[in-house]
Structure 1
Amino acid sequence: MQIKDVLLAPGNGAFFYDDQAAISAGASQDGFVYVGDPITPDFQSIRIPASSLSVGLVLTDDAVVWGDMMNVQYSGAGGRDLFFDTHQISDLTSRVVTPRLLDADASRYLPACATVLEPFEHKRLPLAIEYGVSQALLRAAAHLHRTTMAEIICSEFDLPLPTRRVPIYCQSGDAREINVDKMILKSVDVLPHGLINSRQKFGVGGQTFMEFVRWVATRTRAIGRPGYHPVLHFDVYGWIGQEIGLEPQTIADFICKVADTVPDFTLNIECPADFGFTQAQIDNYARIVSILNDRGSSACIVVDERCNTLEDIRLFAEAKAAHLVQIKTPDVGSIADTARAVLLCKEHKVGAYVGGSCTETDLSARASVHISVATQADMMLAKPGMGVDEGFSIVGNEQNRLLAMLNRRRTQNENVG
């Protein structure tokens, strides 16, 4: 067997774990800290530094390949796994997953994932474990086959070597104006997220949000290079539903009103409302999508909350309950399932956005790039962190290096042929 030892190393995520329920309930900020008591289980305070756990596979040639485990920023919200406890995850990995890894055939990626990540005591492993271990196994397979991670995915899923660059999407965090300027100056493909996660940021009747949308469009025209025309993508964390109401027609009317203020741009609205559980989310989002399509609106609905696992994504895609599905990589679990999710969305002619979280690491971000490029996703998130420069550099540079290697491989294959 190719794995002779397993290493675990605690680490830091690139941002913080936040209690979304407490923030939505009106927790105020004091500098970078949220004031008040947490609401979501396992949170000791509303904002906690994100932790991670690296798993390293020592191969027979003494090379060590790594993957990183963590949860998303808003752990425990929208049907997601609860708060990431490094000690519990480390213990479970050591007791259950390590013996499986030592018996695995790391040269066969999908079969290795299937056996190593199978349920324990009739329950699925924590998705953070699936995520980190599947990254390490992908790097192991790439090392053993002397190839890129993207090529392993292409081989396992019978996909052609990709040629197209995947558009990159940046998020601003709370430093909206400065980070929007950075995005525009760097000609980011999709911007700015906006972090519209409170009543204060959304405004009465959505007025504050609409003013911000108009400002982003105006700023893009003012300082963007000639011909620069990004997609405008805003995550409103369910605030349209909270402030305007949960009637699909009313939500669609509001979204059309926002789109009409920036008629020259494609407008993505992520998580317009949270209907409380998955089936209600599917039914109501499908209705909103249908209304927008019937009107010929340029606005697109992006689903996030209540659409976590591969099975959730399948249900939303089949129901056409979004124009674009965020495949939130740590919530999906195995990164092989992220690849499956992109292909599933394509099968149902729904957009596939390989997202994730600001709490991730450089390693998980780079692995996500390989999945995104191999499956030719519609866009991918610049991560980790809540800034622009670092995540855009990590994801953008990894993509450019990967495409250069794939182009060389393609040329070699053509010469051999």
Structure 2
Amino acid sequence: MTTIARVRAVPGASGFFFDDQRAIKRGAERDGAAYRGDPVTPGFDRVRQAGEAISVLLELDDGTVATGDCAAVQYSGAGGRDPLFRAEEFVPVVERPVADALVGRPAEAFAENADLLADLDGPDGERLHTAVRYGVSQALLDAAATARGATKTDALADALGTDPADDPVPVFGQSGDARRDNAEKMLLKGVPVLPHGLFNSVEKVGEEGERLVGYLDWLSARAAEIGPAGVDYSPRFHVDVYGVLGEVFGPPFDRPEVADYFADLRAAAAPYPLQVEGPMDAGGRAEQVHAMAELRDGLADAGVPVDLVADEWCNTLPDVEAFVDAGAADVVQVKTPDLGGVHRSGEAVRYCEGTDTRAYLGGTCNETAESARTCAHVALATDAAQVLAKPGMGFDEGYMIVTNEMRRALARRDLRQSRVVADD
């Protein structure tokens, strides 16, 4: 048996920034890479500030080191999420109460260690920040896989009781504000789901939503023009509007005016399927579930085939369950840093099994290469509907990291299975 001998925490950088979403929605102006104006969300010193992370090192008694990265979403403190994550504040938490609980534990026992972490309180009796649970659980999964000589996919699948995917999970590219240049890169590379788009203001969507319609019309035309040649390339379009359509139209969302607008979006995206993430932000989970269900019913009654993706107020496992149980979304984003432990993300994906809601294993541009690689294994272990290319907003790097990690994991699993067959 291999045991955890020491826990270390090293402050580091994440792949993007922390942005004060409320300040941006209230009109904070872009100033190059920064924003002008004062922050609104507690904890922020500026509207945009550097992202932070903590690398967790689990030193095992056989001399190996397992790793994971604590990271939090770009829009921390918004939509019911945990507050802004400061690395210096949480290094002592990882190296003291977390280390005290884990040192001496068997590295192979991922499920038990992850459950222990989920129930662990911080030094002041409060629940551990989601970023801490996220990073430490990644390291625990790495430790279990290393101790067993298995992939992280298999270690997590064993803990969850799942049959892993046999092929790479479709990757979802995110463009950032370079929504045309990066979308063209995605089309050239044949990305299955694209482009996110970052439509996080009325200015970007249009006073009547007309700019989003125009963008989808352009995207559809470019997909036909520059998509991969010689293959049947039929991407799924996925745009995130950060609740802005709720500002453009307002409730109730099942009225004909709203359905007609979504029909315009669908026509612009044709012939490619379309899903719209976070159409409104109703200010609370119950309100958001109601608004999303209202819009979904309205689109169904009008015969408008646009899928809705839950994001705002869909942060924790109970949140995911609430949206799925209410039939309030066609897709739920499992926002991995907000779920805390990676096993909770796996459980959230599994909760969608047998329902008409698909699970999108998401996250944030503000993660790290380490956490993105771990999430590739979560996607494979649970056979999610799609997985986010991350970190960063440059697209290419995140797409490479997630795609290559899945392919390596599948190759390792194939090699291991072929050896078992040969031995038999």
User: What do the CA deviations read for 1:288-326 (whole angstroms, capped 9, x no partner)?
Assistant: 222323344321000111000011001111111100000
Query: Which whole-Å deviations, capped at 9, do the CAs of 1:255-282 have from their partners, x for residues lacking one?
Result: 2221122231110100000111001111
Code of the aligned partner of 2:361: V
Matches of 2:419 and 2:305, distance apart in 1: 42
1:163-210, Cα deviation, whole Å (9 max, x unpaired) = 132100001001111101110111100111110011210111001111
Q: How far apart are the structure 2 equivalents of 1:294 and 1:48?
A: 44
Q: Which among 212, 215, 219 is matched to residue 216 of structure 1?
A: 219
Contact 1:6–1:57 (CA under 8 A) maintained in structure 2: yes
Preserved CA contact (<8 Å) 2:196 2:240:
yes
Per the alignment, residue 350 of structure 2 pairs with 343
**Deviation of the 1:416 alpha carbon:** 4.3
TM-score scaled by structure 1?
Answer: 0.97
Deviations 1:133-171 (A, max 9, x none): 000000000000000000011212222343132100001
Decide whether the 8 Å contact of 2:254 with 2:297 is kept in 1: no
Identity %: 40
Q: Tell me the residue number matched to 2:120.
A: 119
Query: Helix, strand or coil for the counterpart of 1:353?
Result: strand
Unaligned segments of structure 1, at least 5 residues: none
Give the letter for the 2:20 counterpart: D
Which position in structure 2 is the counterpart of 1:85? Answer: 86
Matched residues in 2 for 1:116 and 1:291: separation? 42
| CA–CA separation in structure 2 for the residues paired with 1:416 and 1:310 | 41
In the alignment, which residue of structure 2 is the partner of 1:171?
174
In the alignment, what sits opposite 1:19? 20
SS of equivalent to 1:176: coil
Mapping 1:141-180, distance limit 5 Å: 141-180=144-183
User: Which stretch of the first structure deviates more once superposed, 141-150 or 155-164?
Assistant: 155-164
Shift of residue 243 of structure 1?
Answer: 1.1
Match of 1:271 in 2: 278
AA aligned opposite 2:205: F
Q: For each residue in 1:225-270, what CA deviation from the matched residue of structure 2 results, as whole angstroms up to 9, or x when unmatched?
A: 2432210110001111011112211444322221122231110100
Q: CA deviation at 1:131?
A: 0.1
Alignment TM-score, normalising by the size of structure 2: 0.95
How far 1:403 sits from its partner (Å)?
Answer: 1.1
Which residue among 255, 267, 282 is the counterpart of 1:260? 267
1:54 equivalent in structure 2 = 55
Residue 300 (structure 2) aligns with:
293
Structure 1 distance, partners of 2:251, 2:390, is 31
The separation in 1 between residues aligned to 2:325 and 2:125, in whole angstroms, is 28
Aligned to 2:72: 71
- What are the Cα deviations for residues 49-80 of structure 1, in whole angstroms up to 9, with x where unaligned? 10100110000111111110011000011000
User: Given the alignment of the two structures, is residue 334 of structure 1 paired with residue 334 of structure 2, yes or no?
Assistant: no
Alpha-carbon shift at residue 33 of structure 1 (Å): 1.0
The one-character-per-residue Cα deviations of 1:104-153 (angstroms, maximum 9, x if unpaired) are 22211111111133132654211011100000000000000000000011
| Segment drifting more, 1-10 vs 300-309 | 1-10
Alignment of 1:38-53 (within 5 A): 38-53=39-54
Partner SS, residue 204 of structure 1: coil
1:242 aligns with 2:243: no
Contact map agreement 2:214 2:268 (CA 8 A) in 1:
no
Deviation track 1:71-115 (CA, whole Å, cap 9, x = no partner) reads: 100001100011111122112222211101104222111111111
Question: What is the identity, as a one-letter code, of the residue corresponding to 2:243?
Answer: G
What is the alpha-carbon distance in structure 2 between the residues aligned to residue 360 and residue 68 of structure 1? 8
Runs of 5+ consecutive residues of structure 2 not aligned to the other structure: none
Whole-Å separation in 2 of the counterparts to 1:295 and 1:252: 7
Q: What corresponds to 1:8 in structure 2?
A: 9
Q: Distance in 1 between matches of 2:320 and 2:8?
A: 33
Structure 1 equivalent of residue 140 of structure 2: 137
Among candidates 350, 355, 359, match of residue 352 of structure 1: 359
> In structure 1, how many angstroms separate the alpha carbons of the residues matched to 2:57 and 2:383?
28
Whether the aligned pair in 1 keeps the contact of 2:262 and 2:304 (CA below 8 Å) is no
* Counterpart secondary structure, 1:182: helix
Match of 1:302 among 300, 304, 309: 309
Partners of 2:303 and 2:110 lie apart in 1 by 43
Q: Which residue of 2 aligns with 1:30?
A: 31
Q: Give the structure 1 partner of residue 208 of structure 2.
A: 205
Give the letter aligned to residue 395 of structure 1.
V
1:232 equivalent in alignment to 2:237: yes
The CA RMSD over aligned residues, in Å, is 1.4
User: Aligned partners of 1:230, 1:244: CA distance in 2, in Å?
Assistant: 28
What CA distance in whole angstroms lies between the structure 2 residues aligned with 1:135 and 1:296?
43
Residue 283 of structure 1: SS of its match in structure 2?
A: helix
1:248 aligned counterpart, secondary structure: coil
Q: Which stretch shows the higher mean deviation, 141-150 or 397-406?
A: 397-406
Distance 1:57 1:262 in 2: 47
Q: What is the rounded CA distance, in whole Å, between the counterparts of 2:351 and 2:164 in structure 1? A: 18
